[in-house]
Amino acid sequence: MSTIHTYDELKPLDMHNLQFDIAAERLNIQPWILEKIKHPRREFVVRFPMRYDDGRVELLTGYRVQHNTLRGPAKGGIRYHPQVDLDEVRALAALMTWKCAVANIPFGGAKGGVQCDPTSMSPQEVERLTRRYIWEISPFIGPDQDIPAPDVNTNPQVMAWIVDTYSVFRGHTCNSVVTGKPLELGGTLGRLTATAQGLAYVLEEAAKIRKISLSDATAAIQGFGNVGSNAAYILENDLGVKVIAVSDVHGGIYNPRGLSIRAVKDWVNRTGSVINYPDADTITNEELLVLPCDILVPAALENQITKKNAEKVQARIILEGANGPTTPFADEILEGNGILVIPDILANAGGVTVSYFEWVQNIQKLFWTESDVKAKLRMVMTKAFYDVYDLASREKVSMRTAAYMLAIERVAEAKILRGIFP
């Protein structure tokens, strides 16, 4: 890591490139192959007019990056956020490539986004935004080419609009163009909780290794969206973990005696935020990350644990629900302090794994029970965990470096086998 100072910790793409380089240095792979799979295969920038309810028209910018398709169609979510830019989408698309490779499912990586503030839009405006953005990228997506899914500020309803828009473009109904759809349009049981369920399966194995009794453990969870809220509920109700703190974009709440996640969810449904929840102290997102606890789940945005606060982290296990929440700078500090970091490309791969299951069901026109989905997910996540853990133990590297090494090797092998055309 001699050139670590040349990377900007606040830039997700820099952090991806640094982590890639750290892992690649340990692999005997030809430099041209590494360069090929490090960078995106294709990327699209689209600019389109958006008409608001009051008649205003504004030009918006959208992105779709297809990082890699060597192992199968590109796969990755679509996010609507004011800070979306091309470099962020490039980094997130690359993470999807490695995530699919770690889980060993036959997808490559992609990501998309529109730079906008959907929280200030009406449902009708979000629908018009979605349909216009998808119309712009429709020639470049499809069930055998690139399969979007929900991400930040998008949900099953947005996926339904994508299905309809793409089907109009193709001239026939094509449910398999996206995953994370409503059940009525070919979605799968278990998809909404898939990422959180995958986190729980991985945590169970990590706890065995670290000899942590989950029924006696405490957890703090940053982010109370789909991943964070479901992870909190599963940890509390299925694994017996005492959840002592949760947070959202407005702030956090803390009770060392434990929170009732069902009650917190009800509070959020009534008020729109976890803040001011009774029988809990108010804390900041920054304070949550350094609380004394056994399990820390960063499930918000990237770059939350950095060299500035890593030394203060007191958790025994960090379970990454978000993409890129911990920087390589912080990883060095955490590893030195004996904290087990289960990296994003392993820990939160449950979402894309069940997306793969949904895609398979759509193609086969044959649907599974929720217990089938969960059983298959546990099998994939458990195998992926030990694939990474065994490599980390054998090579004496962190779980993150091992996960990247495994993923890079699998993608590179696909390139070697496919060769160069012509």
Instruction: Supply 47's token pair.
Output: 């600019």
Active-site residue, 374 included: no
The helix-helix angle for 12-24 and 328-336 (nearest 10°) equals: 60
**What are the backbone angles phi and psi of residue 319, rounded to the nearest 5°?**
-115, 105
Distances (CA, A) of 44 to 30, 141, 151, 262, 332: 28, 11, 18, 42, 35
**What are the backbone angles phi and psi of residue 373, rounded to the nearest 5°?**
-60, -45
Distance CA(370)–CA(384), nearest Å, equals 21
Instruction: Supply 288's token pair.
Output: 């949550």
Q: Which secondary structure element, helix H or strand E, spans residue 218, and what is its range?
A: strand 218-222
**Sheet with strand 42-51: strands edge to edge:** 42-51, 57-68, 108-115, 74-81, 146-150
Distances (CA, A) of 84 to 117, 331, 352, 368: 10, 25, 21, 35
Q: 3-class SS at 99? A: helix
Q: Please, are residues 144 and 170 in contact by the beta-carbon 8 Å criterion?
A: no
Unique residue bearing structure tokens 């940053």: 222
Q: Please, are residues 405 and 26 in contact by the beta-carbon 8 Å criterion?
A: yes
Nearest Cα to Cα of residue 196 among 232, 160, 172, 243: 232
- Apex CA 392: angle with CA 386 and CA 394, to 5°? 100
| Candidates 111, 242, 374, 415; catalytic one | 111
Residues 6+ apart with CB under 8 A from 42: 65, 66, 140
Distance CA(333)–CA(289), nearest Å, equals 15
Distance CA(143)–CA(106), nearest Å, equals 13
Q: Which residues are catalytic?
A: 111
